[in-house]
């Protein structure tokens, strides 16, 4: 994925490059045309001069050579030449062409003016040539200077574009940052983004309104959950008291006692379920206070100590490896306890006899991390996907659990801005990592 400001700057760069290429092509053509025109004018001037000279002194001084009835002359650098010879053609010639001539073994490109004229009944052909080498050189040089200049300009404008785009798109950056990593619309930063770009303003405005609406709906949903939970707990309460009173009667058969206890167990599942939903709804609607400072290693020791009798009974080894410690400020101790307890308790449940559970706390890149790894049965990717969803985690199969424990863990983590990650491999084990926010 590429950032918008980079894309814009790249597009500008490419369009400038294309423009420059076109410009160079046209420029070099124009320069060539201008130069040729100049050369041609030059040649015509020279012709006039020669003709004037012939008019003054006659053709004879040019035709002194014994060997041929022709005259030829070129300067030392072969920049120019002139030749005059008798010709038999009857046609009148007057044109300029590009041709190469071999002079003293060097083949040189010339712009040549051909002109025929009559003197004393004899037709002569006058060739005046001007070398194109210098013109080519000139064209090359000019093109090079222009190219360097344009490349410089492109570079400078590319950098300024980047800067300006960055400045221009800063409100957009802010808006995306506000949206990034928000698990709950209640956490959305409602302060308006300062901008005088109307598009960003409307985007920000629309987003804030949307978030407000979602928030309101969420809040309503939570309220409904809380109200329903309360309504459900009352009948559960009545049933429980009735069953407990029944169980306390001394004259009932053992089988009936067992049936009553089974009913109580079932009722307890309902109670757990409702309480868990209530707990999550309360956490998500922020009804819990966060005003305690929690010593993380101490709470981990407490949890492992709590679970050690069960682990020992299963011959599961509990290892503790606390390298660094962390005082978690603005936390709710009971919630943090539940969050970690659920995970350790699951680890104990799903690790077989002889297995091992390791609790570790360490600072990683400045962030405090608690990892809980087990050598249990692990999870398949499909199980991992539904791990934190309510009621979906099928890894929890015992009848006393509602399968909502990890959903609670997740909502407590979100409430405290703690990141949770899970790595698991079937038959090898699972590792939960909790990344705590940096203390400000």
The answer to whether 394 touches 384, Cβ cutoff 8 Å, is: no
Task: Out of 341, 368, 388, 434, point to the residue binding another protein (CB under 8 A).
Answer: 341
Q: Which residue, 165 or 229, has its beta carbon nearer to another protein?
A: 229
**With contact defined as beta carbons under 8 Å apart, do 391 and 405 qualify?**
no
Q: In whole angstroms, what is the distance from residue 96 CA to residue 81 CA?
A: 14
Contact flag: residue 338 with another protein (CB under 8 A)? yes
331 near another protein, judged by CB under 8 A: no
Q: Which is nearer to another protein, 73 or 237 (CB)?
A: 237
Q: Which of 3, 170, 240, 290 binds another protein (CB under 8 A)?
A: 240
Is 394 one of the binding residues for another protein (CB under 8 A)? no
Q: Is the CB of 9 or the CB of 260 nearer to another protein?
A: 260
With CB under 8 A as the rule, give the number of residues binding another protein. 51
Q: Is 254 in the site for another protein (CB under 8 A)?
A: yes
- Alpha helices, H only, 248-325: 254-284, 296-313
- What's the rounded Cα separation, in Å, for the pair 41 and 38? 5
Question: In 278-416, which ranges are E strands?
Answer: 292-295, 317-322, 327-331, 356-364, 367-374
Distances (CA, A) of 114 to 1, 34, 91: 65, 20, 12
411 binds another protein (CB under 8 A): no
By beta-carbon proximity to another protein, the closer residue of 193 and 348 is: 348
Q: How far is the CB of 162 from another protein (least distance, A)?
A: 52
Residue 350, number of CB atoms within 10 A of its CB: 21
User: Minimum distance between the CB of residue 287 and another protein, rounded to whole angstroms?
Assistant: 6
Q: Which of 122, 141, 266, 334 binds another protein (CB under 8 A)?
A: 334
Site for another protein in 182-221 (CB under 8 A): none
Whichever of 68 and 241 has its CB closer to another protein, that residue is 241
Choice from 130, 276, 297, 431 touching another protein (CB under 8 A): 276
Residue closer to another protein, measured from CB, 213 or 305: 305
Of residues 295, 325, 332, the one with CA closest to residue 417: 332
Question: Is residue 297 a contact point for another protein (CB under 8 A)?
Answer: no
Question: Terminus-to-terminus CA distance in the chain, angstroms?
Answer: 31
Among 309, 365, 366, 382, binds another protein (CB under 8 A): 309
Question: Tokens standing for 247?
Answer: 């169980």
Q: H or E element: which one contains 16?
A: helix 4-57
User: Least Å distance between CB 336 and another protein?
Assistant: 11
| Residue 431 binding another protein, by CB under 8 A | no
Give the Cβ contact number of residue 322 at 10 Å: 15
Minimum CB separation of residue 396 from another protein in Å reads 10
Task: Point out which span in 3-11, 56-64, 189-197, 332-340 binds another protein (CB under 8 A).
Answer: 332-340
Separation CA 132–CA 291 (nearest Å)? 88
Whichever of 309 and 366 has its CB closer to another protein, that residue is 309
Is residue 130 involved in binding another protein (CB under 8 A)? no
Q: Which of 22, 217, 310, 323 binds another protein (CB under 8 A)?
A: 310
| Residue 237 in the binding site for another protein (CB under 8 A) | yes
> Cβ neighbours of residue 378 under 8 Å, at least 6 residues apart?
424, 425, 426, 427, 428, 429, 430
Tokens for 360? 């570790």
| Closer by beta carbon to another protein, 194 or else 242 | 242
The three-class DSSP label of residue 60 is helix
Report, in this order, helix, strand and coil percent for the chain, each rounded to 5. 55, 20, 25
Smallest separation, CB 355 to another protein (Å): 16
Collect all residues with Cβ–Cβ distance below 8 Å to 363 and sequence separation of at least 6. Answer: 323, 324, 326, 369
Which of residues 140, 220, 230, 428 is near another protein by CB under 8 A? 230
Residue of 257, 327, 385, 397 that binds another protein (CB under 8 A) = 257
Pick the closest to residue 324 from 296, 293, 356 (CA basis): 296
Contact between 355 and 376 (Cβ < 8 Å): yes
Contact footprint for another protein (CB under 8 A): 229-230, 233-234, 236-238, 240-242, 244-245, 247-248, 254, 257-258, 260-262, 264-265, 267-268, 271-272, 275-276, 278-279, 282, 287-289, 309-310, 313, 334, 337-338, 341-342, 345, 349, 398, 400-402, 404-405, 408
């Amino acid at each position: 994925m590429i950032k918008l400001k980079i894309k814009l700057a790249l597009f500008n760069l490419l369009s400038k490059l294309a423009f420059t290429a076109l410009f160079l092509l046209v420029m070099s053509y124009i320069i060539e045309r201008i130069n040729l025109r100049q050369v041609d004018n030059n040649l015509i001037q020279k012709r006039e001069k020669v003709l004037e000279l012939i008019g003054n002194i006659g053709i004879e001084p040019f035709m002194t050579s014994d060997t041929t009835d022709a005259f030829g002359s070129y300067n030392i650098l072969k920049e120019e030449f002139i030749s005059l010879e008798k010709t038999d053609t009857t046609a009148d010639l007057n044109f300029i062409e590009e041709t190469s001539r071999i002079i003293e073994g060097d083949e040189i490109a010339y712009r040549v003016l051909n002109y025929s004229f009559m003197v004393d009944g004899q037709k002569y052909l006058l060739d005046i040539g001007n070398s194109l080498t210098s013109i080519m050189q000139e064209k090359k040089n000019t093109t090079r200077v222009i190219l360097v200049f344009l490349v410089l300009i492109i570079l400078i404008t590319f950098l300024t574009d980047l800067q300006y785009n960055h400045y221009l798109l800063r409100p957009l950056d802010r808006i995306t940052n506000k949206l990034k990593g928000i698990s709950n619309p209640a956490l959305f930063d409602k302060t308006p983004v300062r901008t005088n770009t109307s598009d960003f303003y409307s985007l920000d405005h629309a987003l804030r309104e949307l978030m407000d609406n979602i928030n309101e709906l969420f809040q309503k949903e939570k309220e409904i959950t809380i109200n329903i939970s309360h309504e459900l707990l009352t009948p559960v309460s009545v049933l429980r008291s009735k069953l407990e009173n029944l169980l306390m009667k001394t004259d009932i058969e053992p089988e009936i006692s067992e049936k009553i206890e089974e009913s109580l167990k079932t009722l307890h599942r309902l109670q757990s379920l409702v309480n868990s939903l209530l707990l999550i709804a309360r956490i998500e609607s922020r009804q819990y206070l966060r005003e305690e400072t929690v010593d993380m290693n101490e709470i981990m020791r407490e949890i492992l100590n709590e679970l050690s009798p069960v682990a020992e009974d299963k011959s599961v080894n509990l290892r503790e490896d606390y390298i660094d410690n962390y005082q978690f400020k603005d936390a709710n101790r009971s919630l943090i306890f539940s969050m970690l307890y659920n995970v350790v308790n699951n680890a104990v449940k799903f690790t077989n006899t002889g297995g091992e559970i390791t609790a570790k706390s360490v600072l990683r890149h400045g962030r405090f991390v608690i990892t809980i790894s087990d050598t249990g049965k692990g999870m398949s990717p499909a199980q991992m996907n539904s791990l934190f969803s309510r009621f979906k985690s099928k890894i929890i199969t015992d009848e006393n659990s509602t399968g909502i424990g990890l959903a609670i863990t997740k909502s407590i983590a979100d409430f405290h801005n703690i990141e949770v990650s899970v790595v698991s491999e079937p038959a090898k084990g699972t590792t939960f990592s909790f990344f705590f926010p940096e203390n400000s």
